[in-house]
Structure 1
């Protein structure tokens, strides 16, 4: 179901007004029956899937989606964290507010907010690596496609600490499992 919804929003975003990639984006949605759990609110794991739609909307409406596809690049989430305040209920209207908060040599960082009537219900930070056939796309290559970030846009220091302390070894190095 999520794949179908992603394709639907990919097409819908093409018909929405264009914006600059560095703008704030708002995607209005409604809680679907497929998104709730037995407690009749949105399942915690579903929030990240919903936020995928916000990133797709941003990429398509900014024109970056086509540029990435032309270059053969793709994006993959490398880290994410979320905090919850209130639950979304079946049928409730809300919006996914999305913006890029910065870029470093490893990732593009997004902030997502689930908002109901101007109030934040949940907030997440997502690090997304851009990949080419040669590996991770550099910051300079990404900025060539995205355009220069607005003056003064710098990642908060805690994001660097979070990435450092939350990351796993490279896929080229072993990552043995042991609870000891």
Structure 2
């Protein structure tokens, strides 16, 4: 909710920015705002993922896939994410969110996103996303039919397959009891 207005502003103004294809890399220039920081006066670790949502929405809006998804009743959801930090983003600092689809498999579309300052990576995340319609996953066949085939040579790094397998929770139709140990 805290980024709702920024997200709406981004979606409304995306048509003023250069067009992209969904398989292109997107760069979104931003500045660290007071609402992005914590008591230590830097971007809170949890806020990075929220800010990266803006980068994915920017890519989807500028490539036209956001409108196509909305027309078909598809909604993007995050299925898993991992992040590594190198440096902290400070109040009022300018940075860019670099976003690229790096592959897909039968269950997810994978993004790599980076927070970059003066050409240096401050944080990098990998996000597995799904598209859902009426609570059901959209098939990869339908996604590719709507958005086109990925570029030749686009292959998901092997470690991401392992990461998804070891971190995934059971599907929503299977039990996932809370038991320690």
Q: TM-score, normalised by structure 2?
A: 0.97
Deviation, 1:9, is 1.2
**CA offsets 1:42-86 (integer angstroms, 9 cap, x no match):** 000000000000000000000001110111111100000000000
Q: How many Å separate the matches in 1 of 2:28 and 2:160?
A: 25
Provide the alpha-carbon RMSD of the alignment. 0.9
What is the SS of the residue equivalent to 1:45? helix
Q: How does 1:35-114 map to 2 (within 5 A)?
A: 35-114=36-115
Q: How many Å separate the matches in 2 of 1:16 and 1:155?
A: 29
Q: How many Å separate the matches in 1 of 2:135 and 2:113?
A: 29
**CA offsets 1:14-62 (integer angstroms, 9 cap, x no match):** 2211111111100000000001011110000000000000000000000
Give the match for residue 133 of structure 2: 132
Deviation, 1:141, is 1.0
Q: How many Å separate the matches in 2 of 1:7 and 1:135?
A: 25
What is the SS of the residue equivalent to 1:122? strand
What is the SS of the residue equivalent to 1:80? strand
Q: How many Å separate the matches in 2 of 1:12 and 1:42?
A: 25
What is the SS of the residue equivalent to 2:166? helix
Unaligned runs of 5+ in 2: none
Q: How many Å separate the matches in 1 of 2:158 and 2:112?
A: 15
Deviation, 1:12, is 2.0
Count of equivalent residues: 180
Q: TM-score, normalised by structure 1?
A: 0.97
Stretches of 4+ moved more than 3 A in 1?
none
Unaligned runs of 5+ in 1: none
Give the match for residue 180 of structure 2: 179
Give the match for residue 170 of structure 2: 169
What is the SS of the residue equivalent to 2:45? coil
Deviation, 1:4, is 1.2
